[in-house]
A and B are shown apart, each in its own frame.
Chain A
Amino acid sequence: MPRGFWPVLYTLLAAASGAGAAAAEDAVDFHRDIRPILSGACFQCHGPDEKQRKADLRLDTKAGAFEDRGGHFVIVAGKPEASRLMQRITAQDPKKRMPPAKSGKSLSPKQVELIRRWIRQGAKWSEHWAFVPPVRPVLPAVTDRQWLRNAIDAFILARLEREGLTPAPPADRVTLLRRLSLDLIGLPPTPAEVDAFLADPSPNAYAKQVERLLQSPHYGERWGRHWLDAARYADSDGYEKDKSRQVWAYREWVINALNRDLPYNQFVIEQLAGDLLPGATQDQRVATGFLRNSMINEEGGVDPEQFRMEAMFDRMDAIGKSILGLTIQCAQCHNHKFDPLTQEEYYRMFAFLNNDYEADIAVYAPAEQRKRADIFRGIRAIEADLQHRHPDWPKRLAAWEETVKGDQPDWQVVRPELDASGGQKHYLLADGSVLAQGYAPTKHTTDFTVRTDLPAITAVRLELLNDPNLPLGGPGRSIKGLCALTEFRVEAAPADNPKQKKQVKIARATADVNPPERELEPIFNDRTKRRRVTGPIQYAIDGKDETAWGIDIGPGRSNVPRKAVFVFDKPITFPKGALLTFRLTQNHGGWNSDDNQNNNLGRFRFSITTAPNAAADPLPEHVRRILAVPAERRTPAQTAALFSYWRTTVPQWRDANARIEELWRQHPEGSAQLVLQARGEPRPTHMLKRGDFLKPGKVVGPGVPAFLHPLPDQAPPTRLSFARWLADRNSPTTARAIVNRVWQAYFGTGIVSTSEDLGSQSEAPSHPELLDWLAVEFMDRGWSLKTLHRLIVTSAVYRQSSRVTPDLLARDPLNRWLARGPRMRVEAEAVRDLALAASGLLDEKIGGPSVFPPAPAFLFQPPASYGPKIWPEDTGSGRYRRALYTFRYRSVPYPMLQTFDAPNGDFSCVRRVRSNTPLQALTTLNEPLFLECARALALRTVREGGGTEPQRLEYAFRRCLARRPTATESAALLALLDKQLRRYQQGDTNPWELAAEDPKLPPKLPEGVTLPQLAAWTVVARVLLNLDETITKE
């Protein structure tokens, strides 16, 4: 073994197993001691995967390990010498020894000895603990009962007493409040909050603080961020284009759900299937954004189905890690090698999720929802008034119906031949319509050719149709789900002589929507100086590249089907059929096809007719459908919808109609959210060979793995059933996984350190009974996360001092036994938030779209990024919002957050790295926003910190660290202040260079404060913000 790196590893392993061995002196524990050895060294060939299984031997089940193998036994309880297992793992002959050398695995003498002792002690076997539902364990007996504050402490203390350790004394009040505040809301306490707590003599003073913080709306922000890691939240698509997407409504849902303490089981159900709940609200649909946080690839050459599959795998992985606490993605290619999950079971779970549209819906903030309700109420009132004043309306409506009945020509849908070439991919759907997917070029012309035997074709109809896969349901692909048609042309050729192609002259065009001319919106700016407009249908046949037919008639009612009819000046007839080519020119997008600037048609259909004088039917599709229902069988809603259309055709009602139009113009824009939307017809789910979507195997139906709890008998095979199953009380891992992660957030390490994996390969829990107790308690108390938090933070173990002695550090370097409180650097977002809060710059607004704090502009431009990205730096208070709201591009992570280990959302993350690097030091020292914080803290300090320098120091120090400085600390900081003050007084440099954002526009100096003083304080403030303790939870 080479020297250097590896010996260091061995020292640690020895130290770690030393701690374990001390605990295992007496009885060998199968879960803790034996199962991990078998899993690590044997299961690969003698485990759940039958394809890999050697010698037809399974060691992952009791039946397998103890079976009669023709007179001999692998394991004979109590008799190591008679057990084949012992013979093989101790064999001298390398050919016989297990595990075989070529497997790369080996057993240490210590492991062999453990197995020997386990067999001697009776080879007690039990299923892997995590696959057996937790039951509430009895509290262990402890000696020092006085220390206990709640049940958690009993489990911790029992372990400590067994280890011969004693708990640390409680942390002092200031440290405790800062810890509590950072833990519950992710922000430090203000000096006033500290003072109030110190001055509160009541016995429940601490409990009051806990309640205050649990009620704070910042609680949802702090704990929401943890969930967003698991939900792989990001504001962009990932892959090459990495376009921005609107998903912040989901983030807001998470924050709000936690703030109102939505029970965790419900929290899970809504994220998996909120849309399928009876009477699903907008919020419940938004919650399914959890599944949509997968990346999307819209590179030029992609097959969208391939990346839908990638997204499906990602969803499965996210569900596994974040909800089940299991790593299931191995089974996408083959049976799991360690856990009893077969590939077929994987695809059975997959089948629950495989029946959805990748939808993007409009969502409205509460104020917008109220506005919408007002508008619709207003419209209804005007319509009711019309009906009231014209009681004969049903008769008039019926008369009108007669006039429009059968007034449309017959249209024959024609299906173009499509291939998968080109950037934007076109798919022919069952109804003959074409769906555009994948890459969306902003300027392009595409031909669609159809063959027809219809003689004397007089006109073609282009329908624009909705589709759940399009933004806001379409019919276009722009971010509003709309589109513009620059030019429409038709060419015709005889089917038997395609080369004789001639352009067909279009005599006239009609459409069911003809908006007035208007200039393109800024997002479609193509960086030419041309004035580009949309307007009526004539703009699609005027031969001008600057004009296009548009369908945008304002928010709330533009995402509807549309149609245009183009009449030829002469009917087209070829004796052996015709080849018609429809050429769609779509040049009304912006300059950058790598961004959300397309203005393309999303789903459309061509039909032809032989009728003379065809025109676009002014009646919307839904009105035609209602008309097809006999009047007496129409629902009130249908009648109302019919009335709403018909009234627009009544000339006498012009005023009322105009008032309704005016109401529509007030409709809020809203925003969008990626969600799931169930398809009417389920997709068949195939098992994929090696996970390759081009190699579908047998079809499987929805189902759940046998090693977990069963699905209720009557459960329909829907995503909702799967969601309910995941959040079922009988799930052995769901509650354990979440309580373990909450524990991890407090103490740095979970009770099971591998919080993403509670399966066979997980690390043994440090306190298995505590984990089960917490899981059961959590479920018994209604899956309330706030109750869980309350329980943990009021325990004695949480309240310990985090000071550590060399001796304790040597015995328990990772603090697994918790003989001291947690001490760790706060997470990336909190590093930023702490500086903002200490400086007083923090904008505490909750929720809303993502923000753009300062970032180096070059990062968002080639060649640093693939395409030019938008980073409109916030100049107002938006730059001081909590880091949770910082816009996250997957391909260009925000540097400060990345440096402090925030994940970029490529995949689900339930356990962050916590690194400590020079790049972090450079960031807090030199990054512009940290410097703004230093300036703001300095200014605030000289303004509000008192009249003397020591008073000011105490003020600034407490804003960062909550506590007061020690004499040594004061001396060092005041010395720095003094030295800097002298340097600035000497006038070497302009102090405003440091002390002002813009030296030419300096802030007003407070009364009695000199500029050198302010600059010197800026230096000190910068030092305070860079202390280890400032960014540490002690």
Chain B
Amino acid sequence: MNCQDSWYRNADPRLVARRWFFRQCGVGLGVMALGQLLSRAGYAAATNPLAPRQPHHRPRAKRVIFLFMAGAPSHLELFDYKPELARFDGKLPPADLIQGYRAAFINPNSKLLGPKFKFARHGRSGAELSELLPHLAGVVDDIAIVKSMVTDAFNHAPGQILMNTGSQQFGRPSVGAWATYGLGSESQDLPGFIVFSSGKKGPSGGNSNWGSGFLPTVYQGVQFRGGSEPVLYLSNPRGVDAQTQRDSLDTIRTLNQARLDEMGDPEIATRISSFEMAFRMQASAPELMDIAREPKHVLTMYGAEPGKPSFANNCLLARRLVERGVRFVQLFHEAWDQHGNLVKDLKQNCLDTDRACAALIKDLKQRGLLDETLVIWGGEFGRTPMVQGGNDGRDHHPNAFTMWLAGGGIKPGITLGRSDDFGFNVVSERVHVHDLHATILHLLGFDHTRLTYRFQGRDFRLTDVHGQVVEALLA
């Protein structure tokens, strides 16, 4: 959110840069010279808060693609096979299991519901996957499955906000904002943190899922969408052609430059560069979004169809974005809240996503990008082994759920952690959301306890006072 900033407090790197700029260049700098200067890496590094930066230690991942499965997918149908649960189907859960348990919708003392799909082992690693995930099965040796995820929240908005910002209370920066704050972006003309949304609806937490919290606004996620205008107000308005736009921008620059000469306020120089970057984005973003340029076999691999917005298209776009140096791409696919219609909806959701997720891994790998790209798949919590409604639904469940990670320094082909026989509680290798965050930051080259931002008199961090790097996940 747009509250507070570093501008007047700690360090605004731009101010230092501006001082340098004025000392070195004088105020009466010509427009051309300014343009050249701005494009030179040295100056860009100093003027642009998104300029690439080095983290604490050598990073294993340089960029992140977070496939956020909003609504909370059922671990029991997809990853965490429980034969015991099948055996106890229709029976009430053991009393001690549900003692003190708070559920969102159901009476906790509801009957157990056996898994609805078949599972099989795949790959050299022999990881167990549901029949709903045939494509993921093909890349299962490239991913690490974590069956021991734990969170604190069991309602969607707080759960999503926790998974994305490390806190159930609104107002904290998102993981993508922290990553971009820490590392900047390698893209010259695209935002450093880009968000897509597909599925039935938008995520429950709304924009705060990709907000910058108390970090400067440049670090917040920018929502893209399919089509020729991925960014709001990207296109020239009706009646403004390229020539008129260029003429207009030249005149704006001339007048801004004259004002800079007169007033000496470096903020004007920043404004000039903002307009130039906007112009560049107008050219580069439509090209980026034009997936019709991809070869047929690539489109087929993802199941992407140009012109028809989908999760698959977004996966392909995510690859195109990280290729262009964007630091953090997050895909929200809100479809997984199966209080009912568990069988039908899960089938559909997997049809919509499985192929594209696997294609993304394959594609990144083929291009040599997977090594330095961290891919994360998962939702905000899991689902109850107890039934909701008749026999085809599950309620929210925070005590155990599954996520998977790949690339970017993740040990491939492993399955980490275990839940109990009902998939209710984690019994080994517990990974809390904060631990996941610590691990993401570690892979990006940060000590999560040291990537901090001073706000309201204290140093805030993504993991607050929690978080331990999950060493077992590291390659």
Contact = CB atoms under 8 A, between A and B. Distances in A.
B312 to A, nearest CB: 14
Contact of B449 (A9, A104, A330, A892): A104
Interface string A975-986: 110011001000
Interface string A286-320: 00000000010101111100000010010000000
Interface string B210-222: 0000001110001
A826 B200 CA distance: 39
A919 B222 contact: yes
Interface stretch (A76-84, A443-451, A487-495, A805-813): A805-813
Given A863-B197, A993-B238, A757 B457 contact: yes
A802 B265 contact: yes
Contact of B206 (A763, A823, A892, A931): A892
Contacts of B263: 802-804, 823, 1034
B4 interface: yes
A975 B250 CA distance: 11
B264 A297 contact: no
Contacts of A497: none
Interface string A888-924: 0011110100100111101101011111111111110
A916 B104 contact: no
B252 A1027 contact: yes
Contacts of A420: 102, 107
A926 B233 contact: yes
Contacts of B238: 993-994
Contacts of A925: 233, 236-237, 245, 248, 275, 278
A876 interface: no
Given A5-B184, A862-B202, A748 B8 contact: yes
Contacts of A338: 457-458
Interface in B221-258: 222-223, 225, 231-241, 243-245, 247-248, 251-252, 254-256, 258
A7 B105 CA distance: 53
A926 B107 contact: no
A926 B235 contact: yes
Interface residues of B, number: 112
A866 interface: yes
Interface stretch (B113-121, B153-161, B435-443): B153-161
Interface stretch (B16-24, B90-98, B421-429): B16-24
A242 interface: yes
Residue of A867, A1022, A1028 with most chain B CB atoms under a 10 A cut-off: A1028
Contact of A906 (B1, B5, B106, B240): B1
Interface in B53-93: 53-56
Given A806-B264, A926-B233, A12 B201 contact: no
B139 interface: no
Contacts of A926: 233-237
Nearest to B102: A303
A865 interface: yes
A229 B234 CA distance: 29
Given A338-B458, A966-B258, A917 B204 contact: no
Given A9-B10, A1028-B271, A856 B232 contact: yes
Interface in A346-362: none
A866 B158 CA distance: 14
Given A8-B46, A299-B204, A994-B237, A906 B170 contact: yes
Contacts of A210: none
A474 interface: no
Contact of A8 (B11, B254, B457): B11
Interface string B191-208: 100000111111111111
A904 B8 contact: no
A761 B200 contact: no
A980 B237 contact: no
Interface in B370-409: 395-396
B8 to A, nearest CB: 5
Residue among B55, B232, B238, B272 with max Cβ neighbours from chain A (10 Å): B232
B277 A297 contact: no
A762 B454 CA distance: 11
Nearest to A229: B3
Contacts of A327: 456-458
Contacts of B13: 5, 8-9, 12
B278 A914 contact: no
A502 to B, nearest CB: 23
Contacts of B300: none
Contact of A867 (B201, B223, B233, B248): B201
B134 interface: no
Contacts of B205: 239-240, 891
A973 interface: yes
Interface string A856-881: 10100011111100000000000000
Contact of A421 (B45, B106, B255): B106
B268 interface: yes
A980 B297 CA distance: 46
Interface in A266-281: none
Contact of B171 (A12, A299, A901, A907): A907
A906 B158 CA distance: 13
A250 B321 CA distance: 44
Contact of A976 (B102, B245, B247): B247
Contacts of B169: 310, 313, 907
A484 interface: no
A760 B458 CA distance: 10
Given A5-B13, A866-B334, A1028 B268 contact: yes
A757 B231 CA distance: 36
A866 B157 CA distance: 10
Contacts of B266: 809
Interface in A732-765: 748-749, 753-754, 756-757, 759-763
B281 interface: yes
A5 B14 CA distance: 11
A13 interface: yes
A806 B278 contact: no
Contacts of A864: 197, 202, 223, 225
Contacts of B2: 898, 901-904, 909, 912-913, 915
Interface string B99-141: 0001111110000000000000000000000000000000000
Given A300-B105, A926-B234, A1027-B252, 20 more contacts: A104-B450, A240-B204, A300-B104, A300-B155, A302-B104, A760-B457, A804-B265, A825-B267, A893-B207, A904-B2, A906-B170, A907-B3, A912-B4, A913-B4, A914-B7, A916-B270, A920-B274, A926-B236, A1018-B239, A1029-B259
Closest 5 A-B residue pairs measured CB to CB? A301-B104, A891-B206, A761-B457, A994-B239, A993-B239
Interface of B: 1-5, 7-13, 15-19, 22-23, 26-27, 45-46, 51-56, 102-107, 154-158, 169-171, 184, 191, 197-208, 216-218, 222-223, 225, 231-241, 243-245, 247-248, 251-252, 254-256, 258-259, 262-268, 270-272, 274-275, 277-278, 281-282, 332, 334, 339, 395-396, 449-450, 456-458
29 contacts: A2-B53, A8-B13, A239-B205, A297-B158, A299-B157, A301-B104, A303-B102, A421-B103, A754-B456, A804-B263, A813-B19, A862-B334, A891-B206, A913-B2, A913-B7, A915-B5, A915-B216, A916-B267, A916-B274, A919-B222, A922-B234, A925-B237, A925-B248, A926-B233, A976-B247, A989-B241, A1023-B248, A1028-B259, A1029-B259
